[in-house]
Amino acid sequence: MSGTLFIVGTGPGKPSQMTPETREAIAAATEFFGYGPYLDRLDLRSDQVRIASDNREELDRAQAALARAAAGANVCVVSGGDPGIFAMAAAVCEAIDRGPPEWRQVDLVVTPGVTAMLAVAARIGAPLGHDFCAMSLSDNLKPWDVITRRLRLTAEAGLVIALYNPISKARPWQLGEAFEVLRNVLPASVPVIFGRAAGRPDERITVMPLGEADADHADMATCVIIGSPETRMIAREGRPDLVYTPRSFMGESH
């Protein structure tokens, strides 16, 4: 008899933002596979085992977890944020798709989590109040020209854009180039939100217009939200500014 494979997301990092359903899944599992810093967020019991791996070993991690679940263990694969958004749920599904028949019989449970763009949006107002999309700037799994084309077309369509994986030591130039692509389409006044570690003690939320947006404000712990031409800022004396995108579309004439 096979075991159960739970795929969970720890949320953006604030313990209270981990869902009760995820906590129940964690309590039911005995073996935990994930990127080390995500596993560090869990308060595991003495009978629970952690198997940490590098963040770039997602498919190998998924295969190892499936093998253990197929052998009868109750296994938990751990992501940050939501496991279905640029995270481990897709890697596990890919492993099942390519793997042996017995992996398709594993009892699979995916629990939803709070993803970074939702945490950042909540800290600044409601920038995702109208149509939006989420994109990863990492070109590890797709070509850079595909990313820039999607950025341009999304901006032309008037969607708010949430950027994940905006910059890294191996990719220090990509966010700056992404801003240049967007400046060719969007007004310079469109708000850009740099939301680093939203909800955690080292949180930093910065807002600046696209015309002045500087990639140096981001790192891999940052989710960047670029507004649409509809997005508005509200100045509040003595309080942080609010950024929101109206639910009603007014068009370019307003």
Give the pLDDT of residue 254: 42
Burial status of residue 14 (CB atoms within 10 A of its CB: 0-12, 13-18, 19 or more): middle
DSSP, res 45: -
Which of 159-191 are b and which e, b meaning 16 or more Cβ less than 10 Å from the residue's Cβ?
A: bbbbbbbbbeeebeebbebbbebbeebbeeebb
Give the pLDDT of residue 223: 97
The rounded mean pLDDT for the chain is 95
Can you tell me the mean pLDDT for 50-70?
94
- The β-bridge partners of 194 are 206, 224
Give the pLDDT of residue 252: 56
